[in-house]
Structure 1
Amino acid sequence: MNIAVIFAGGSGTRMNTKSRPKQFLDLNGKPIIIYTIELFDNHPEIDGIVVVCLEEWIPYLIKMLKKFEINKVVRIVSGGDSGQQSIFNGLCVAEDYASEKCDKDTIVLIHDGVRPLITETTITDNIRKVEECGSCITVVPATETFVVKQADGNFEIPRRSDCVLARAPQSFYLKDIIEAHRRCQKEGLSDFIDSCSMMSYYGYRLGIVEGPMENIKITTPTDYFVLRAMVEVHENQQIFGIY
């Protein structure tokens, strides 16, 4: 079984929106979060979707799921006090759902609700890579030079060809990632920036697949305008066959 856990619990302070969080901003009459969920809902190998949502926006999300005929969302859960806690909340209900289906080898794909520009191929590649080596981090090549500050005040500049940027989905066997989260709780660790950082800390082997460059996170107004342009390009491709 393959379950997507989609995180839509952020308040979007960097977007500077006053009326609604960034994941619920409309683009051509459809919220950004729905664009994201549709990608997983339409994928033939995704069996269920769990959405982690701001509690006060859950009724609106349910309304939008019905409006846009999303069929695979099996659970909606409110977020926690941090991104790490919110993801754990989503993993717990995913675990409950997998238990109901008696599936002990469930793969979970953890994705940002404000990354609506991934592809069906990216989702498929994540599933295959987890089957191959137990985990998958979607990456894109670095296009600029990294400068790493050292503790002694000096700097290290790695070769650009050796650098990639971690994005999402980040995918694992559910039993492995939820075990890592529970270890964090026992050890009082609550500041991991993402799931692959946590898994690396606990010594898990991390596989990677290269995703599309446009797989950006809609965080700022500039990102929103990029998304709007990309959606327009995709619509033109469907209407006019432009590639």
Structure 2
Amino acid sequence: MNIAVIFAGGTGKRMNTRSKPKQFLEMHGKPVLIYTLENFQNHPQIDHIVLVSLASWIDYAANLIKKFGITKVSAIVPGGSTGQESIYHGLKKAYELFGDNNIVLIHDGVRPLIDKETITKCIDVTIRNGNAITVSPAIETIFLKNAEQGEVGQIFNRSSCLMAKAPQCFRLGDIYKAHQRAIQEGKTNFIDSANLMQHYGFKLWTVQGSPENIKITTPVDFYIFRAIIDAEENLQIIGL
């Protein structure tokens, strides 16, 4: 089976919104999270979805899932105090429900423009190699921060750099047991699942994703999302 664990546990502080977390902000009457969930709901190879939500918003999320007919959601679990802990909660529920001999796709609830082709490629590469990390080319110069305030550190050739995105896909047993090991060892500051898995010796494989697969973190990201959605709708209207 292929199980999507959708992480929607953020509070959206950088969105400067006081009423709702960013995953529940609406675009044309539909919350960002629902746009994300629909892409996995409508993918024929996705069997189940486990949603990780802010504990205080679980009932709200459940009502949205019912309203918009997201039938593949098998469980909604509360997030933790960190992103790593929240993802573990989702993986633990998936492991309890479905066992370890499955593929899990870990995805941000605020990446609503994930496309069918990327999901398919992630599943295919994970079947062959054991994992798949969605990436896009680095389009800006990347350098390290120097210990001296304001001084530029080492500059990298961006042609040899990639930006990690989502979904990040693994065999469920592998990623779940790696998270358990991290908990036992008190290691709670991994950047993401790819960082955690590489730390424990896993060789990681990349999948080239769509450049539109943005993460909505700031108000600018939200406006970009709206522009892309509007452009796609306009193209459909004129038959392109």
- TM-score, normalised with respect to structure 2: 0.96
Where do 5+ consecutive residues of structure 2 fail to align? none
Shift of residue 233, structure 1, vs aligned partner: 1.4
Helix, strand or coil for the counterpart of 1:157? strand
Provide the residue aligned with 1:141 in structure 2: 137
The structure 1 residue matched to 2:227, chosen from 185, 204, 229, is 229
* 1:180-213 deviation per Cα after TM superposition (whole angstroms, max 9, x unaligned): 1001011000011100000111110100011011
* 1:93-130 deviation per Cα after TM superposition (whole angstroms, max 9, x unaligned): 0001113xxxx420000000000011000000100111
Provide the residue aligned with 2:47 in structure 1: 47
Distance in 1, Cα, partners of 2:145 & 2:58: 42
Shift of residue 132, structure 1, vs aligned partner: 1.3
Alignment of 1:64-75 (within 5 A): 64-75=64-75
Instruction: Report the AA paired with residue 136 of structure 1.
Output: A
Asked whether the equivalents of residues 132 and 204 of structure 2 are also in contact (C-alpha less than 8 Å), the reply is yes
- TM-score, normalised with respect to structure 1: 0.94
Helix, strand or coil for the counterpart of 1:124? helix
Shift of residue 154, structure 1, vs aligned partner: 7.5
Provide the residue aligned with 2:88 in structure 1: 88
Alignment of 1:18-57 (within 5 A): 18-57=18-57
Provide the residue aligned with 1:220 in structure 2: 218
Provide the residue aligned with 1:10 in structure 2: 10
The structure 2 residue matched to 1:130, chosen from 123, 126, 136, is 126
How many pairs are equivalent? 238
The percent identity for this pair of structures is: 53
Shift of residue 145, structure 1, vs aligned partner: 1.2
Instruction: Report the AA paired with residue 207 of structure 2.
Output: V
Helix, strand or coil for the counterpart of 1:86? helix
Distance in 2, Cα, partners of 1:193 & 1:237: 38
Provide the residue aligned with 2:156 in structure 1: 158
The structure 2 residue matched to 1:112, chosen from 80, 89, 108, is 108
